[in-house]
Amino acid sequence: MSSKAAPGGGTARNTSPNYGLKFTAGVSRYPNGQIAELFLDNHKAGSAIGTLVRDMAIAFSFAVQHGADPEEIRKALCRDSEGRPLGPLAAALDLIASTESENAKRI
């Protein structure tokens, strides 16, 4: 995923370099800035991959709402030998982390 997400949430449309599929990622946050929910979808309504990525985002959202650390989940996800994400959840979380890092540099 290569687009930038909005600092407080929002969506980004991206193409996964590994699958050739288009995914949309969105995030909502608690007032303190922590991730409350992640939304993932792909460009084909009703597709199996769309269902899988939506379910993955729901499971991630439940996990962080119940105390899981999003950064630890991000680090645990599959990557290639150069550390690039292999799936859409890892790509979305990397995008969020890089946006947060860029925003922290501006402060």
> pLDDT grade, residue 19 (50/70/90)?
low
Q: How far is 4 from 59, CA to CA, in rounded Å?
A: 23
What 8-state DSSP symbol labels residue 71?
H
- Give the tens place of pLDDT for each residue, 38-57: 999 988 878 899 999 999 99
Q: pTM for the full model? A: 0.78
CB 42 within 8 A of CB 62: no
- Give the tens place of pLDDT for each residue, 65-107: 999 999 999 999 999 999 999 999 999 999 999 887 666 666 5
Nearest partner of 51 among 64, 41, 36, 59, judged by Cα: 41
The single residue listed with the structure tokens 């922590």 is 34
CATH class name, domain 10-106 = alpha beta
Nearest partner of 9 among 24, 25, 26, judged by Cα: 26
CB 8 within 8 A of CB 102: no
